[in-house]
Structures are given as C-alpha cells and as structure tokens.
Amino acid sequence: MTPSAARLRGGSGGGRTHNLRVKSPLLCRLSYRPRHAKVASAAPPFISMEPYGVVGRLIAMITRLIPIIALGLVVTACGDSDTLGTPAKEPISGAIHVSGGIAGIDETWTLAADGTIAGPNGETGTYRDADLAALRQAIASADFFNLAATYMPDDTCCDRFTYEVTLTEGDRINTVTTIDAAEAPQTLFSLIDTFRNALRIDTSLP
C-alpha cells in the first residue's frame, strides 16, 4: 500500500473519522535504522589470500623449529667448548736405570713417546693406556718436574737399589736420582714403582 490518507470509521459509535498516514511496509524496512547502528563500508575488491596463507604456515613452522634449532646449537656449542677446552696431552717418554742390590744388578728400561718399551735383555712391548694414565697421575702427584736432581744420603750402604729416573713430557724434562730409604718424597718412590712395574708387565722377551 502506498502512503495515502485512509478514512477509518471508529467502532460502532458516531460518525467521526480519523485521518491516518500509513506507510508502505517496504519503505519502513528500508528507512528503519537503529540509533547506534554503524554503516558498513563498501567491501574491498576480492583479493586472494592464498599466498598469505602459505607464508603464514611457513612462519608458524619456523617458529616451532626455532627452539629445537636453538637447543641443538647450544648442545653443539657445549660439545665444541668441551672439546676445545681440553688441551691435548703431551706424549711421555723416559727411562729408568736401576743398579745395586745384593745381586748387583744394572739395568735400564726405556719408554718412547709412541709407547714403545725396550728392556735391558731385549724385552719389548707397548705401554698400556691404563698404565700411561697411572704414570701421568704419579708424575703430577710427585710434582716430578720440580723435584731436585738428587735425593742421596752421604752413606749409600748397604745393598740398596739406586734409581735414576728421567722423564719428558712435552717441553718439560727432569732427571732425579735417589736410593732406597733415602730422605725423599714418598710420592717419588710411588712414581718409581708405577713406572718400573708397568715397564716389566707390559713387555716380554723376544
């Protein structure tokens, strides 16, 4: 119905008429707007978001991988620092000359830097890793490279063994001479026993 004046009769009484302005329902729907309603802006031209979706997925993937990569780098760095922080051990070489005793022995044992052993009677062998580690410990305990050259009493009687020990480690070298029961550091005698016993155990006659 278009806007128009309609004459309506009221109830059963009287002949009064009422002029009412009635709008079309279509116009009411088009003209109604809530007081605080916002008018939507025109939709932008259609743009495909597919490339952005791919980039987004890549970013998400990289974000998830960053902690794993970082942890790997830390572990690798720690491993490298441990490796680089441990200096290479210098090779050890040396000899021990033992003389005296009731039998009047006189023998020399040698240890080459490559671990090869040579005995006084043609014995040969290779110094074992465990023995080499024990020798290093004995050298450190005795502070061998800072010991005096001799620990010999005025009286060398009687029938005691005399030991002349020479050891080289890197650019350090020292030769120490002592005798049984001398006033010498006990760690020196422990070093002599460690060195000499391993030389004997790790060799065999040809």
- The DSSP output letter for 154 is S
Q: Topology of domain 92-204, per CATH?
A: Mago nashi protein (3.30.1560)
Percent share of the chain, pLDDT over 90: 52
Torsion of CA 50, 51, 55, 58, to 10 degrees: 70
Total residue count of the chain as it appears in this document: 206
Mean pLDDT of the chain: 78
Q: Whose structure tokens read 């302005």?
A: 21
Closest CA to 20 of 44, 43, 4: 4
Over residues 168-189, the pLDDT tens digits come to 999 999 999 999 999 999 999 9
Residue 205 tokens read as 């006659």
Alpha-carbon distances, residue 69 vs 9, 22, 56, 75, 99 (angstroms) = 87, 74, 20, 10, 64
Q: Which two tokens stand for residue 202?
A: 């790790």
**This prediction's pTM:** 0.60
DSSP state of 148: -
Q: How does pLDDT run across 59-85, given as a tens digit for each residue?
A: 777 777 777 776 666 555 555 444 455
